[in-house]
Structure 1
Amino acid sequence: MADAYRLMRAALALFDAPPAQLEAAQRQRAEAQAEREADLERRILATPEAAAVAVSEAQVAEAVATIEGRFADAAELERALAANGLDREALAAAAAEELRVEGALEQAAARAEPVTDAELERFYREHPERFRREQEARTVRHILITLNDDYPENRRDRAWSRAERLAAELQAAPEGFAAAAQRYSECPSALHDGLIGQVTRGQLHAELDAALFAMAAGEVRGPVETAVGLHVLYCEAVHPPGPVPLEAVRERLRERLQAQRAEQARRAWVRALPGPSATR
Structure 2
Amino acid sequence: MNSERFGDGDSRYYLLKIAHEQFDCAPGALSEEQLQQADRIIGRQKHIEDAVLRSPDAAGVVVPASQVEEAWAQIASRYETVEALQQALDEQGLDAVGMRAMLARDLKVQAVLDCICAGLPDITDTDVSLYYFNHPEQFKVPARHKARHILVTVNEDFPENSREAAWTRIEAILKRLRGKPERFEEQAMKHSECPTAMQGGLLGEVVPGTLYPELDACLFRMAQGELSPVLESPIGFHVLLCESVSPARQLTLEEILPRLRDRLQLRQRKAYQRKWLESLLQQKATLENLAHG
Q: What's the counterpart of residue 264 of structure 2?
A: 257
Greater alpha carbon shift after TM alignment, 242-251 vs 51-60: 242-251
Return the TM-score normalized by structure 2: 0.51
The equivalences for 1:210-225 within 5 A come to none
Q: 2:274 aligned to 263, 267, 270, which one? A: 267
The equivalences for 1:13-24 within 5 A come to 13-24=21-32
- Aligned residue for 2:16, secondary structure, equals helix
Q: How far off its partner does 1:134 sit? A: 6.7
**1:86 counterpart = 2:73:** no
The equivalences for 1:126-275 within 5 A come to 126-131=134-139, 245-274=252-281, 275=284
State the distance in 1 between where 2:30 and 2:54 align: 32
State the distance in 1 between where 2:30 and 2:249 align: 52
* Runs of 5+ unmatched residues, structure 1: 137-200, 204-239
Q: Is the 8 A contact 1:44 1:104 kept in 2?
A: yes
Q: What's the counterpart of residue 74 of structure 1?
A: 82
Q: How far off its partner does 1:101 sit? A: 0.8
**1:47 counterpart = 2:51:** no
The amino acid of 1:266's aligned partner reads: Q
* Runs of 5+ unmatched residues, structure 2: 1-8, 145-203, 207-246, 286-293
State the distance in 1 between where 2:205 and 2:24 align: 36
State the distance in 2 between where 1:241 and 1:24 align: 45
User: How many percent of aligned residue pairs carry the same amino acid?
Assistant: 32
**1:98 counterpart = 2:111:** no
Structure 1 residues 70, 30: closer, same or farther in 2, change over 3 A? farther
Q: What's the counterpart of residue 10 of structure 1?
A: 18
Q: How far off its partner does 1:242 sit? A: 6.2
The amino acid of 1:115's aligned partner reads: I
Q: 1:30 aligned to 38, 41, 53, which one? A: 38
State the distance in 1 between where 2:205 and 2:54 align: 54
Q: How far off its partner does 1:89 sit? A: 0.8
Structure 1 residues 135, 26: closer, same or farther in 2, change over 3 A? closer
Q: What's the counterpart of residue 68 of structure 2?
A: 60
The amino acid of 1:272's aligned partner reads: S
Instruction: Show CA shifts across 1:62-113 (max 9, x none).
Output: 2112222333432233233234332111111111101101111222344432
Structure 1 residues 14, 135: closer, same or farther in 2, change over 3 A? closer
Choose 1 or 2 for highest CA Rg: 2
Q: How far off its partner does 1:130 sit? A: 4.0
- Aligned residue for 1:272, secondary structure, equals helix
Structure 1 residues 49, 135: closer, same or farther in 2, change over 3 A? same
Q: Is the 8 A contact 1:111 1:262 kept in 2?
A: no
Q: Is the 8 A contact 1:10 1:31 kept in 2?
A: no
State the distance in 2 between where 1:132 and 1:26 align: 37
State the distance in 1 between where 2:101 and 2:253 align: 48
State the distance in 2 between where 1:262 and 1:99 align: 17
State the distance in 2 between where 1:69 and 1:94 align: 18
Q: What's the counterpart of residue 190 of structure 1?
A: none
- Aligned residue for 1:273, secondary structure, equals helix
Q: Is the 8 A contact 1:12 1:18 kept in 2?
A: yes
State the distance in 2 between where 1:70 and 1:241 align: 40
Q: What's the counterpart of residue 152 of structure 2?
A: none
Q: What's the counterpart of residue 225 of structure 1?
A: none
Structure 1 residues 91, 245: closer, same or farther in 2, change over 3 A? closer
Q: What's the counterpart of residue 197 of structure 1?
A: none
